[in-house]
Amino acid sequence: IAEKGIYMREVHEAQVVKWIRKMLMMSQTRSMPLMRLQHLRNVLFLPPDFKSRIIHAYPQYFRVTTVRGALTLELVEWDESLAVTYREQRLRDNALELDELMGDTNPHAFPMSFPTGFHLRKNVREYYETFQKLPFQSPYEICRTIHGTMEAEKRNLAIVHEILSMYVEKRAQIAQIAVFRKDFKLMSSLRGLIERHQGIFYTSYKEDLFTVFLKEAYSGMRLIDRSPLLDFRDRFIRL
C-alpha cells in the first residue's frame, strides 16, 4: 500500500496542478487570494503542503504576489488546451449528445434528466427550451454578459457546472462554490440558480448544509467515473 500511495500522490499532484491552473483561468483577473484555495482542500483532496510545496514547485505555472496585504496566486501563462469545459470534452468524446428535453441535437444544451413520470409544466418547458438554445459562453472567457439576463444565467450555470466537474466527488456544499463569487463574477443568488435547474443538478439539504451534485456524473447515487483516490481513501480508512 505504501508504493501504491506514492504512485497515487504523484498522479494526484499532477491533477491538482491542472485543477488549480483551470481555476485561475476561470478567474476574471487570472488570479485569486491564495487562502481561497483552502476551501478546496476537501473537494479536490489537496495535500496539506499544497501551498508550501506544490505551488512553489511549479514556477512555470504559478506566481505568488502580495495584493492589498494578502498573498495572491497568479497564473503565469495561459494554456489554451486547458480552456475546455467538462461539457465540451464530453461532446468531443461522444460526438454530439442528444438533448432529451428538446428532442434534437443541440451543442449549446446541458444534459438534463428528470425522474420517470415527471412532467414539466408548459411554461417551464418553454423556458428550458429557450434557455438551452442560448449560445454557450465558456467560463474561461472574460465575462461579457449583463447580470439579470438569461445569457448571464447560462454563463453562471456553465461556471457552476465546470466547478463541480473538477471536484473529486462531483458534489460540494454551496459555500464551496459561492466562495469564488467575486473571482468568477457569479450572481449572488446561486442557490436560486441551482434550484431552477433541477434537471442538471441534484440537491440535498441536511443539517443546514445545502449540497449540490452534478447529475450527469451519477447513476442514481453512484459516481460513474469514480476517482481511484476515493478507493484508496476508503481502503486506508478500513486499514
Q: Are 145 and 152 in contact (CB under 8 A)?
A: yes
The three grid cell numbers given for residue 93, joined into one nine-digit string? 468524446
How far apart CA 85 and CA 169 sit, in angstroms, is: 17
What is the pLDDT at residue 77?
93
How far apart CA 109 and CA 70 sit, in angstroms, is: 39
pLDDT over 80 (residue 228):
no
Q: How many C-beta atoms lie closer than 10 Å to residue 110's C-beta? A: 23
How far apart CA 97 and CA 101 sit, in angstroms, is: 12
What is the pLDDT at residue 105?
55
Alpha helices in the chain (DSSP H): 2-26, 41-44, 55-57, 86-94, 122-133, 150-166, 175-178, 181-184, 190-196, 228-238
Mean pLDDT of 5-23: 80
Q: Are 168 and 13 in contact (CB under 8 A)?
A: no
Mean pLDDT of 131-153: 87
What is the pLDDT at residue 161?
95
- Mean confidence (pLDDT) of the chain: 85
What is each CA distance from 192 to 24, 174, 189, 195, in whole angstroms? Answer: 25, 11, 5, 5
What is the pLDDT at residue 106?
66
What is the pLDDT at residue 102?
45
Global pTM reads 0.87
How far apart CA 45 and CA 200 sit, in angstroms, is: 24
How far apart CA 162 and CA 180 sit, in angstroms, is: 13
What is the pLDDT at residue 98?
44
Chain-centroid distance, C-alpha 75:
18
pLDDT > 90: percent of the chain? 42
What is the pLDDT at residue 49?
82
Q: Cα angle at 36 between 202 and 39, to 5 degrees?
A: 45
All structural domains of the chain, each given as residue ranges with its CATH number in brackets, are: 1-79 (3.30.420), 103-223 (no CATH)
Structure confidence by residue, pLDDT tens digits, 50-81: 888 889 999 999 999 998 888 999 999 999 99
Structure confidence by residue, pLDDT tens digits, 145-194: 778 888 999 999 999 999 999 998 999 999 999 999 999 999 888 999 99
- Looking at residue 110, the DSSP 8-state letter turns out to be P
